[in-house]
Structure 1
Amino acid sequence: MLIFDENLEISHLPADVYKELMNELDKDSGWRCLGQLVCRELGCIENENSWIQALEQNSSSKSPSPSEKVLFELQTKMCTVGILSFLLERCDLLKALSVLSSPEPLVILRQPNLKSDKAEVVFGQELKLTCKAVGMPPPKYLWYHENSPIIDQTTEELNIEITKVNQQGNYKCKIYQNNRDGSFISELFTESVSVTMMATAVVIEEQPQPTLYVKEGEKLSLSCKANSHPLPRFQWYRDNTKLEKQTSQILCINTFNSRDEGKYYCHVFNDVSEAYSQKSYVMVDLPRQKAVAKIALLIANQDYQHQTKLTTPKADVARIAHSLEEIGFIVICLLNQTLVEMRKAISVFSEALLEGVYGLFYFGGHGFKMQESYMLPIDAPEVYLRNDAICESQLLSVIMKNDPALFVTILDVCQTVPSKEVNPVIHKEVPSVNEYKGGKNLRNLIQAYSTSSHRPSYERSGKECGVYAKHLSKFIDRDIPINKVFEEVGKSVDTWVKGTARNQIPMVSSTITKPFRLTDSILSGKPPKAVRNINGMIEFPEKIVNISFEQCEIKGSVLVSRFTAPYLNVVKIRLLNAEDYAVNFYNSVPSERNDLYQNPNKKECWIHSPQLSKGPLVICLLKNGVPVGATLFDVMDFIPAFLHRLK
């Protein structure tokens, strides 16, 4: 209810009331809303934006304030107190309206428990409650939780995110009035709403770190943070053994030693669900080793001439090669090797495996087990003997003579015995014995097998990679001791492989005496000459070579490069600058086996093991299907030196 007659002109208001009205309109730019409404409702100003800007200009202690200008405009239009109060109410400028109105007691129009005095919320979601009151001076709001004020919730609507269990309880709102000078007038409390939290599943928010090294005698701490309702409970495990006293979100071992090494994880659970944290590898922090160099030879045999062709070795080797390159290995990859090529590749590889060097050999292809493990080259006959294959001791007898600091051999082959019905001759063969010994070091040797004795090794139907290579690639570049790498590979295969493939059980033999890791850094300084030599022998930059077709007086060029990374022994030749001609490639001397493939559309060919070619490559130009010129191109002049050593 207005204090003044509603027909009283604004200009006739008492000076103190007029000043107080201006002060309220200047607060929080209330004058702006009133000014915009004046423009729209009274239609007295041609351009609203221009007028609002004019009200803001020249606002200083000596010039009229924006609110004074708006009220003056209303005076010129003979506006009454009634009209002004109507405009103030339309703008929701209730504090300014209270200057003209008599006090009105608080009345709660809407209680927060409008639907129910109970509310159930989901953990992590928002709680919204609303109340509404009227009165003059206009009401203010302050929400309470269990009789404690929520400082930042001071509007009609309570809006908070429920992230803690202790946010459950009773919520209500205090609605109160103050005079314009801040003095207290009255207050009311709304009815309460009892808020409870719905049960929620366990969510792990912070995982323990995946790898941790702790010095002997020092403290080990691992943390696993989780949230849920009811509150989660924790139980820590080491290598699947329950740690009876480790039942909080932080695992703590005050004095760590080698007996505490292992794989730690936390079981987090409540009455609704459970979850397991990721596993943390915790090891004694021993002095790190350093390598003089790290070199790997990887062979993928899949296109067998007389045996069943395989589908995954090529992809397996490429995947493992990438991981090894990422951790600093010099990697030599060869595809589809004959017996002679394999022997020579191993011999050249061994020359660089000097003292202090880490060496790694991986073979993916066909193999068998007869006292020893054997690797089959692609040219092994249908009915083969042990002499047609390379046995592991033959490999080691060549490798270990130069005493590498660490050597890892990985045979991704079947370990089954050849059938007596299919291959009776091999069972009568007297095997040769290969001794392997080093001048100083017979230790620090890892022999890993994709499967154990007398068991098969599987490719994965319809998959790019084989079973063992898939799991090996998960761990081979991890910063964990070398023994742990193969331990984890075996566990991973056991965990994930299903069905018939469970007959494949990886195996490893080790004479490791030092905490070697494949991720160990390389000593600074100039590497030994043998290492520099092998690095130079596998260099294969792209080359563009000029050629000439003399019969038709056409000059062109060819690009020589790898056909596909990371393989060294498949060379691509692409003809450039001959757009108007077709091209044909063929061997000048026929090869015993198909080693030349071509793609006429791209005017390119690729040659497998070019060092075995009997003569140069013939490049023939054709016009409308008719040969118009040809030239000889000696690929041997442009292949890596390593391949020359395999002839």
Structure 2
Amino acid sequence: MYKFCEDLDLEELPESVYRELVDELNVNDNWVHLGNYVAQRLELRPGWVKSLEGRGASRGKESPADDLLYQLNIRLCTVGILGDLMEDCGLLRALSTLRETEPLTITRHPNFPSQEVKVSMGKKIQLICEATGLPPPSYTWHHGDSILPNEGGRELTLEITTEDQEGEYRCLVTQVDIEGKIIDQLVSESVYVAVNSTPVVVQCQPSPFVEMKKGKSLVLSCKVKSHPEPIYQWFRDNTKLEMQTSSVLKIDNFDANDEGKYYCYIKNPVSEVCTERATVIMEMPREKATVKIALLIANEDYDHHDRLKTPKNDVGKLAKLLHEIGFKVICFANLNIQQMKNAMTIFSAALSEGAYGLFYFAGHGFKMQESYVLSVDAPKTFLRSDAICESEILSIMMPKDPALLAVILDTCQTVPPKESNPDIHREIPRVNEYRGRKNLRNLIQAYSTSSYRPSYERSSNENGLYVTHLSKFITKDIPVQKVFEEVGRSIDRWFKGKERNQIPMFALTVTKPYRLTDSIYAKNSFLEPSKLDQLLSFPSRKIEISFQQSGITCQVQVSPYLKPFSNIIKLSFDVADDLSVSLYNLVPIEPNNLFRTKINEFWIHNPQRNKGPLAIFIERDGNRVGASALKLMDYVPKILQNL
């Protein structure tokens, strides 16, 4: 029922009611919605509604809504006609200025055929509550005693992502007048949303290897995802542990009788699972290192032999893992034989009594009485003197008496065939003597495969087979010999077919419980870590280059090209769009070590091979307009000066 006569002209409405109506039409541009509907009904010209925005001021109207009501009034629109138009447009709050209040009634409750609905994890459910009344009702959804934010419509869509969403849902329907006062409130019937049970999924396993001091408290834990909450039961060596029925196991005053393999049995209504075993033993005294240093060499782009695909990836992965456990890491790619020996000498200089050293080589190699590694410049038909044997590697590193030295050769261990390389079988090998001056029980030698067997890489895999498995254990807090034991077991379980010919092996003289994860304590050494950091330091730098003949200047950024390798750098030139840059070695180098990656960007391999500065030419439309020189060795890592 209308508050006024339906035939009353709009201009005859009381001023206060008229202003309330204008205010409601101006909210959220409701007048645009009403105006478009009127224009459609009366078939008015396109743009009629848009024109109201600019014409109101010229006619003394305060707002577009004022002008719209004025336009309706001169078209003989009455209170009844306007009310019907606003009702058709759904502008019920504006309509409530003209009509009497209608009582609030819930016409649809958010319940299903039953008061409970079951939903699986990841699925969606829609709850609907509908009500009538004037002023129009607003909706507030509740989950239990909590209001759901940003859910103010009659429909509530729930995507079940956590068990916490289980519970009772209901809707509070409120009727508010124009002045913001609550007229009435009703609460809908509730519906209980139950989340279906989900299988137990172990998200965090107990630590696989734990060493305990006598008298301390052992704590093992696991984290699972499960609905409903599961039951837990811990076991030691398949014996049930009474009172250990939570996700956390705790044993106070640990002693030798508590050693063993622990696991947790977990069960809910739809599944059951056991965690992985945790081996717990009494802790032995821990060793410490004065410094931990690794030298990693990746040779894959051979001049006269098949190119390999994974060594650089293998070194990159190991470098990251070793850095995580405190190693200073030196990485080089594609070194010739002299550079390899220089790199080993640099590495040896960083070792000292109490240091942990790790040397890793990935590339081509062979076996003749002992293991040999090949540099990228090795001739097609090579002799032992063209390679570096393991005893020579050790003779460089062992005299420094590191506390621990691990040498890992990720190469084939096959014998060069006599029919293609007969000379090497007649060659008398050089004997290299190696031994430490004090520490005679510090060496571990690991090989990706055993004597006279191949080592494989797959073109479809990012990493070689050996590093794929080594990376699983190299950061584990376990004795170093156990690292290589676990690598062998892992490969044996995983290899199939011809790859079973690759059988990793290791040998050691180590008798102390060294771990690659051992901590570092400060001690003066021949080459302190800070000095090694200075040798390896390679911050990106911007250098200004002047081409005096043409008056042009530009900037070049010198930065690493392929981390973590120290001997591959990038030069990026910032020049005007109409200019391009070319680089040349003043003294030709074989093989070429300059490569263009894209316009005005280059990478350089082994920049220390450049005899003198780089020649830089700047060109416009194919014509050289300037030349300059760059002393590149002033900006590369200092370690390259000795490589």
Q: 5 Å matches for 1:5-20?
A: none
Of 286, 289, 308, which aligns to 2:287? Answer: 289
Q: 5 Å matches for 1:399-418?
A: 399-418=397-416
Of 582, 592, 606, which aligns to 2:603? Answer: 606
Contact 1:246 1:252 in 2 (8 A): no
Q: 5 Å matches for 1:76-87?
A: none
**SS class of match (2:595):** strand
Q: 5 Å matches for 1:448-597?
A: 448-524=446-522, 528-597=526-595
**SS class of match (2:549):** helix
Q: 1:522 to 1:528 in 2, by over 3 A?
A: farther
Contact 2:309 2:459 in 1 (8 A): no
1:542-596: CA deviation from partner (whole Å, max 9, x where unpaired): 2222222233222223222211211101122222244331111122221121211
**Aligned-pair distance for 1:313?**
0.6
- CA distance in structure 1 between the aligned counterparts of 2:424 and 2:255, rounded to whole angstroms: 51
Of 402, 409, 430, which aligns to 1:432? Answer: 430
**Aligned-pair distance for 1:406?**
1.2
Report the counterpart of residue 390 of structure 1 in structure 2. Answer: 388
**Aligned-pair distance for 1:359?**
0.9
CA RMSD for the aligned pairs? 4.6
- CA distance in structure 2 between the aligned counterparts of 1:452 and 1:258, rounded to whole angstroms: 37
Where does the alignment leave 5 or more consecutive residues of structure 1 unmatched? 1-38, 40-45, 48-89, 93-113, 125-151, 153-197
Task: Compute the TM-score of the two structures, normalised by the length of structure 2.
Answer: 0.64
Amino acid at match of 1:582: S
Amino acid at match of 1:337: L
**Aligned-pair distance for 1:509?**
1.7
Amino acid at match of 2:538: F
Q: Are 1:639 and 2:636 an aligned pair?
A: yes
- CA distance in structure 1 between the aligned counterparts of 2:298 and 2:256, rounded to whole angstroms: 39
Contact 1:202 1:232 in 2 (8 A): no
Q: 1:232 to 1:490 in 2, by over 3 A?
A: farther
- CA distance in structure 1 between the aligned counterparts of 2:276 and 2:480, rounded to whole angstroms: 21
**Aligned-pair distance for 1:223?**
6.2
**Aligned-pair distance for 1:429?**
1.8
Q: 1:222 to 1:581 in 2, by over 3 A?
A: closer
Task: Compute the TM-score of the two structures, normalised by the length of structure 1.
Answer: 0.64
Count of aligned pairs between the two proteins: 485
Higher-Rg structure is 1
**Aligned-pair distance for 1:278?**
2.3
**SS class of match (1:438):** coil
- CA distance in structure 2 between the aligned counterparts of 1:444 and 1:271, rounded to whole angstroms: 54
Q: 1:293 to 1:205 in 2, by over 3 A?
A: closer
Report the counterpart of residue 361 of structure 2 in structure 1. Answer: 363
- CA distance in structure 2 between the aligned counterparts of 1:348 and 1:208, rounded to whole angstroms: 41
Report the counterpart of residue 330 of structure 2 in structure 1. Answer: 332
Of 338, 341, 352, which aligns to 2:339? Answer: 341
Q: 1:535 to 1:233 in 2, by over 3 A?
A: closer
Amino acid at match of 2:637: P
Contact 1:290 1:520 in 2 (8 A): yes
1:159-189: CA deviation from partner (whole Å, max 9, x where unpaired): xxxxxxxxxxxxxxxxxxxxxxxxxxxxxxx
Contact 1:294 1:358 in 2 (8 A): yes
Report the counterpart of residue 614 of structure 2 in structure 1. Answer: 617
Of 620, 624, 630, which aligns to 1:627? Answer: 624
Q: 1:590 to 1:435 in 2, by over 3 A?
A: same
Q: 1:262 to 1:487 in 2, by over 3 A?
A: farther
Q: 1:410 to 1:401 in 2, by over 3 A?
A: same
Q: 1:225 to 1:564 in 2, by over 3 A?
A: closer
Report the counterpart of residue 207 of structure 2 in structure 1. Answer: 209
Amino acid at match of 2:608: Q
1:209-237: CA deviation from partner (whole Å, max 9, x where unpaired): 344221257776756798899x9897957
1:309-331: CA deviation from partner (whole Å, max 9, x where unpaired): 00111111111111111222111
Q: 1:379 to 1:255 in 2, by over 3 A?
A: same
Contact 1:225 1:249 in 2 (8 A): no
- CA distance in structure 2 between the aligned counterparts of 1:382 and 1:262, rounded to whole angstroms: 55
**SS class of match (1:551):** coil
1:101-142: CA deviation from partner (whole Å, max 9, x where unpaired): xxxxxxxxxxxxx99xxx9x9999xxxxxxxxxxxxxxxxxx
Amino acid at match of 1:363: F
Contact 2:200 2:266 in 1 (8 A): yes
Q: 1:338 to 1:279 in 2, by over 3 A?
A: farther
Contact 1:122 1:199 in 2 (8 A): no
545-554 vs 268-277, which moves further:
268-277
Q: 1:225 to 1:337 in 2, by over 3 A?
A: closer
Report the counterpart of residue 37 of structure 2 in structure 1. Answer: none
Amino acid at match of 1:618: A
Report the counterpart of residue 105 of structure 1 in structure 2. Answer: none
Amino acid at match of 1:508: F
- CA distance in structure 2 between the aligned counterparts of 1:200 and 1:573, rounded to whole angstroms: 55
- CA distance in structure 1 between the aligned counterparts of 2:546 and 2:599, rounded to whole angstroms: 20
Contact 2:580 2:599 in 1 (8 A): no
Identity over aligned residues, as a percent? 50
Q: 1:597 to 1:223 in 2, by over 3 A?
A: closer
Q: 5 Å matches for 1:150-229?
A: 207-216=205-214
Amino acid at match of 1:620: F
Q: 1:557 to 1:290 in 2, by over 3 A?
A: same
Q: 1:343 to 1:282 in 2, by over 3 A?
A: same
Q: 5 Å matches for 1:237-276?
A: 243=238, 264-265=262-263, 275-276=273-274
Contact 2:381 2:421 in 1 (8 A): yes
579-588 vs 391-400, which moves further:
579-588
- CA distance in structure 1 between the aligned counterparts of 2:434 and 2:624, rounded to whole angstroms: 57
Contact 1:203 1:228 in 2 (8 A): no
Q: 1:228 to 1:91 in 2, by over 3 A?
A: closer
- CA distance in structure 1 between the aligned counterparts of 2:497 and 2:384, rounded to whole angstroms: 32
1:391-443: CA deviation from partner (whole Å, max 9, x where unpaired): 11111111110111111111111122222233222222221121111111011
Of 296, 308, 312, which aligns to 1:298? Answer: 296
